[in-house]
Amino acid sequence: MIKDEPGSLVICRSLSLVVLGTLSSYGLATVNFETDLWPGPEDTSAFSQDQFRYRLATPAHGLGDAVLTQPSANNQSSAGSSIPAPAPLLLAQADSGSTSRQTVGTAPEESQNEEPPVVARISDDVGGVLTRQGELVIEPSVEYSHSSRNRVALEGFTIIPAISIGQIDIREIDRDAIIPAITLRYGFVNRLEAEVKVPYVFRDDSTRTRPLGIGSVTDDVFTAEGNGIGDVEFALHYQLNRGLGGWPFFVGNVRAKAPTGKGPFDVDFDPGTGLPTELPTGSGFWALQPSLTVLYPSDPAVFFANASYLWNLSENIGGDVGEINPGDAVGFNFGMGFALNQRASFSLAYDHVILGETKQRGNNIIGSNADVGSFVVGFTHQLTGINTLNVSLNIGVTDDAPDVRMTLRLPLGFSLF
């Protein structure tokens, strides 16, 4: 029942039970029905037409007083009714000295941040943040990778299943590589960044073989090493949109790789084993890789994905080798990043690359394709200002992927203007 009298508003006991019962069911308050729910008939003058205030029995919960605010007379119906329209419920903070209030059920204001969110870096094109205009970032890094693989090769033929004619060659291959690098990034404008990366490669391969079918009881171990400058990379990163209106951020990337390292056709091979006596430090081919990165903030996480296409240019090696097309590659990754606090964040992702078959003189080389899949964990910690420490760990989940690959980055920023 609501009594319509000028200057007073009486809300019935049943309506109060509904309001406080609903708050109690969601754990927002504990109601003392004996003392806190109704002030009694003698206290109805305390309820004005503009406000209805009740006290929660447990202010220690941090809710403090709940205020049901009625609109002013200017907002009343033009029909002449003195009963105001329903008003929003406001929760006053219980902190000492605090007078701020938050409207329950009102959506927060849309963020107007036009910069992509910071994600712990998991690769050269995913994670980190674009360099601001006039800033130079010098990023020393070091990468370590280890892979092991067992291979069984049959040099012969099979008449019927389980009966083989010829020599069976069993090989166990262990590969280790350490790649320190220096990367320079410069921001031409806040949404355009240029990058140059110069790596130096240290490689060490160990191959253990045992031919079966000829009575051999000893293992043959063949080792090879290689070190030198790797393939220099050039890249551009551009933020395509501002990420407003609930849209994700889109960042376009294009990366070019020059064959500055020693290629696989620039090293000598052992005639007996067919293995290289010196390991190459580069691919030996020009390559171009466009990609697109998508970042979607969803507090407290950031979802991201990247798709890329690697185009390797063919080259005529000459001699008995002829023209070699190393094959193209399609890559993608996706994951999410979390901010632990204002200075630390980490990312979880999956990365996969599908390598096409290499062609020699237009003919596919059987077994030259590969599927490289890995689970990636990244961690970033802000040291001072724009200087951060980044660590990423790749764990191989397919046969062709390295068993483990770990990268440590330390970008150092300098403002030139």
Structure tokens, 279: 């390991």
- Residue recorded with tokens 């580069």: 282
Dist. CA 353–CA 372, nearest whole Å: 5
**pTM beyond 0.85:** no
Dist. CA 358–CA 65, nearest whole Å: 73
Kindly give, in sequence order, each residue whose CB lies less than 8 Å from that of residue 397, ignoring residues fewer than 6 positions away.
373, 374, 375
Q: pLDDT digit of tens for each residue in the chain (417 aa)?
A: 444 444 444 444 444 444 445 545 545 444 444 444 444 444 444 444 444 444 434 444 444 333 333 444 444 444 444 444 444 444 344 344 444 444 455 544 444 556 666 677 777 777 767 888 888 999 999 999 999 887 655 444 444 444 444 455 667 888 999 999 999 999 999 889 999 999 999 999 888 876 655 555 667 788 889 999 999 999 999 999 888 888 899 999 999 999 999 988 888 888 877 778 888 999 989 999 999 999 998 888 899 999 999 999 998 888 888 889 998 999 999 999 988 888 888 899 999 999 999 988 888 888 888 999 999 999 999 888 778 899 999 999 998 899 999 999 999 888 887
Dist. CA 358–CA 282, nearest whole Å: 16
Sort 217 into a burial class: Cβ within 10 Å, 0-12 / 13-18 / 19+: exposed
Fold observed for domain 135-415 = Porin (2.40.160)
- Specify whether the CB–CB gap between 351 and 123 falls below 8 A: yes
Kindly give, in sequence order, each residue whose CB lies less than 8 Å from that of residue 381, ignoring residues fewer than 6 positions away.
343, 344, 388, 389
Domain coordinates in residue numbering, the chain: 3-103, 135-415
